[in-house]
Amino acid sequence: MIHYLDNAATTPVREEAAQAALEAMTVGWGNPSARYALGSAAAAQVKNWRSDVAAGLGCAAEEVCFTSCGSESDNWAIRAAVELGKRKGKHIVTTAIEHAAILEPCKALERQGYEVTYLQPNRQGNIDVGDLEKVLRPDTVLVSMMLVNNELGTVLPVKEAARAIKRSGCPALLHCDAVQGFLKVPFTPKELGVDLLSVSGHKIHAPKGIGAMYIRKGLKIPGMILGGGQEEGLRSGTEPTAQIAAFAAAVRAGKASLKENLAHMAELKEYAISRLTGEVPGLVVLVEGGAPHILPISLVGYKSEVVVRYLSDRGIYVSSGSACHKGKPSHVYAALKLPKKEQDGVLRVSFSYDTTREDVDALVEGLQAAGKELFPSLS
Residues 200 and 86 occupy one common structural domain: yes
Residue 77 has pLDDT above 50, yes or no: yes
Return d(Cα 106, Cα 92) in angstroms, integer.
8
* pLDDT the model gives residue 376: 77
Tell me, yes or no, whether 360 and 246 share the same domain: no
Identify whether 141 is part of a domain.
yes
Same domain, 265 and 227: no
Of 65, 69, 170, 324, which is the active-site residue? 324
The pLDDT of 187-205, averaged and rounded, is: 98
- Number of domains present in the structure of the chain: 2
Model confidence pLDDT, tens digit, residues 327-375: 567 899 999 999 989 999 999 999 999 999 999 999 999 999 999 998 7
- Residue 19 in contact with residue 332, Cβ under 8 Å? no
- Among residues 256, 276, 308, which one ends one of the domains? 256
pLDDT band at 326 (very low <50, low <70, confident <90, very high): low
* Domain contains 252: yes
| CATH code (residue 75) | 3.40.640.10
| 324 included as an active-site residue | yes
Residues ≥6 apart with Cβ < 8 Å to 319:
6, 8, 9, 308, 347, 348, 350
Mean pLDDT of 226-237: 89
* Mean pLDDT value across residues 82-93: 97
pTM for the complete prediction?
0.95
Q: Distance between CA atoms of 99 and 80, rounded to whole angstroms?
A: 18
Q: CA–CA separation, 176 vs 194, rounded Å?
A: 7
Mean residue pLDDT across the chain: 95
d(CA 289, CA 132): 20
Please compute the mean of the pLDDT values over residues 286-306 and round it to a whole number.
95
Domain that holds residue 357: 257-373
- Specify the DSSP class assigned to residue 32: T
Are 29 and 241 within 8 A, CB to CB? yes
Single residue among 207, 223, 256 that ends a domain in this structure: 256
